[in-house]
Structure 1
Amino acid sequence: MSLAALLEAGESVFSAWSSIPDSQTVELVAGLDFGAVTLDMQHGGHHEDSVLRGIGGIRLNRKHPMVRIPVGRFDMASRALDMGAEAVIAPMVNSVQDARAFAAAMKYPPTGLRSWGPSFAMPRSGKSDGQAWLETANAETIAFAMIETRQALSALDDVLAVDGIDGVLVGPSDFSIAWSNGRTVDPALEDMMPAIETIAQKTRAAGKHAAIYVVDPGLVGRFHEMGFRLFALGAEAAYMQEGAPAMLKAARDSIKF
């Protein structure tokens, strides 16, 4: 089942977050018990070559590949899809103009202006019928516009109305900086939680997908109640920091003095 189909069905999807541009590392992350893996080109080290190679490892583990492109690199959105990504996250979508440019890169005509060339995407998806691909690709590729500024919040209704924008992904760290007028970075800032809930509610009311990056996994339940269904968690460093202490504790506890 595609990522789009899972979200349409209301399923909760957890995405790993990959910052290290190494295909073997990506493959190891994809082997963890996440439903999807996001390759981060904005703040992570991923680049075009690592995305091309990394998506192969994600597909090999039967997980859903996602890519966060750099700010304004809507050309990379099309390339990520051609490399086999199922979803693309565009950061700093602060206006309806940004949303339209992003949607145009993500969708084939008549919705958008995506150029034909799924030479990697089709075989990686196990498909070979070009006509069937053309007829289904727009519905099965997800354009997530990031909402992380006051400008984006003000433009939310117009962004959600853009044909080809399938959902939003909240970046709570940047949102907290904007919400506090630059005074703090706190992805769990209580003062901004009503605004985040409003984002989820408006997104769901528009028939689109609500996603969020979660620094504290304990907040997932609260965000789920707000209406979010895709949750991005951690990154390679966090997975090692969580796992290594548990292994060392078990080893040390096993020694009998």
Structure 2
Amino acid sequence: MLKSNKLKQIFAEGKRPAMGLWQMIPGANVSRILARAGADWIMVDCEHGNVDDAAMHSSVPVIAELGLSPIVRIPDLQPWMVKRALDSGAHGILAPLVRTIEEVENLVAAAKFPPLGRRGFGSPIAMQSFHPIPTFTEYLQQANESLLTMVQIETQEALDLVEQIAPLVDVLFIGPFDLGNNIGHPIIDGKMDPELDEAIAKVLRAGVAAGTKCGIFCTSGEQAKRYADQGFHMISAATDFTALGAVMEGALAAARGVQQEKAATY
């Protein structure tokens, strides 16, 4: 199982950052398009995306079959959401808007089988996202080591506690928009205040000090490259919803022979 988790293998090799794409539009065919674009991982977004439980179960195995790591962003910190995501075959989960150490500890417990946690065992679906397909026993024995638990650092409370949170999880993942909002420095028209830049740098320092990987959501390939150069380990380069709109606008502008203004993203 560990060898099947491409994202975790890239982390272990330590040679380059893992680049990913964000899926907000439901559908296995959307997952196939994104997976064939050359990414290392796909984030199936059940928080802000139009992805329900059934759509998640359709996308996760498709992504895994094409050799990428499917990661699921759960809508909330409830343990049953962690269980459903991992039982779908996800190689890891991302939890939004954490605020306390207790929340993080409970999240980790929900993601781990005993004795390390409280995850329930029984899904025959989860095994299908690994090659060779593990037996029930092999999945039970290997899942705790093979799957990734990630939390988003995007609140003032989490930022204040980031040094304590870092050793508890596999990845600290920065949500710049909510982090900016929560510390009083929102991103407006793409502009990031120095205070937000420093908050992001603080998270990266905490991750490096703890030996924990650090990821960040980006709105363009150019921005992703800048954060890669800063030492981030897991970076999103595009989101399906906004990328689709930008491509369609560009095609129509070219067809009409008009100068296209820069497409809006976030």
Give the counterpart of 1:205 among 190, 193, 209.
209
Partner of 1:173: 177
- Using a 3 Å threshold, how does the CA distance of structure 1 residues 181 and 123 change in structure 2: closer, same or farther? closer
Asked if the contact 1:176/1:186 (under 8 Å) is kept, the reply is no
1:89 Cα offset (Å): 0.4
Letter in 1 for 2:234: L
1:250 Cα offset (Å): 7.2
Partner of 1:116: 121
Larger mean Cα displacement after TM superposition, 20-29 or 151-160: 20-29
Letter in 1 for 2:116: T
Partner of 2:145: 139
What is the TM-score when the length of structure 1 is the normalising length? Answer: 0.88
Q: State the alpha-carbon separation in 1 of the partners of residues 101 and 10 from structure 2.
A: 27
SS in 2 for 1:234: strand
In the TM superposition, 1:216-255 aligns within 5 A as 216-244=220-248
Asked if the contact 2:167/2:212 (under 8 Å) is kept, the reply is no
What is the TM-score when the length of structure 2 is the normalising length? Answer: 0.85
Q: State the alpha-carbon separation in 2 of the partners of residues 177 and 124 from structure 1.
A: 36
CA RMSD of aligned residues (A): 2.3
Partner of 1:154: 160
Asked if the contact 1:66/1:87 (under 8 Å) is kept, the reply is yes
- Using a 3 Å threshold, how does the CA distance of structure 1 residues 6 and 17 change in structure 2: closer, same or farther? same
Asked if the contact 2:177/2:186 (under 8 Å) is kept, the reply is no
Partner of 1:69: 74
Q: State the alpha-carbon separation in 1 of the partners of residues 171 and 45 from structure 2.
A: 18
Q: State the alpha-carbon separation in 1 of the partners of residues 213 and 123 from structure 2.
A: 25
Partner of 1:47: 52
Q: State the alpha-carbon separation in 2 of the partners of residues 100 and 21 from structure 1.
A: 30
Q: State the alpha-carbon separation in 1 of the partners of residues 41 and 187 from structure 2.
A: 33
In the TM superposition, 1:10-21 aligns within 5 A as 10=14, 11-21=16-26
Q: State the alpha-carbon separation in 2 of the partners of residues 189 and 46 from structure 1.
A: 32
Question: 5+ residue gaps in structure 1?
Answer: none
1:107 Cα offset (Å): 1.0
Q: State the alpha-carbon separation in 1 of the partners of residues 186 and 32 from structure 2.
A: 37
Partner of 1:192: 196
Q: State the alpha-carbon separation in 2 of the partners of residues 232 and 183 from structure 1.
A: 17
Q: State the alpha-carbon separation in 2 of the partners of residues 87 and 54 from structure 1.
A: 14
Give the counterpart of 2:88 among 62, 77, 83.
83
Asked if the contact 1:14/1:34 (under 8 Å) is kept, the reply is yes
SS in 1 for 2:217: strand
Runs of 4+ in structure 1 over 6 Å off: 249-253
1:36 Cα offset (Å): 1.1
Deviations, residues 201-226 of structure 1 (Å, cap 9, x unaligned): 21122111111101233222332243
| Percent identity for Structure 1 against Structure 2 | 24
Task: Give the length in aligned residue pairs.
Answer: 251
Partner of 1:27: 32
Asked if the contact 1:176/1:184 (under 8 Å) is kept, the reply is no
Give the counterpart of 2:12 among 8, 15, 18.
8
Question: 5+ residue gaps in structure 2?
Answer: 258-266
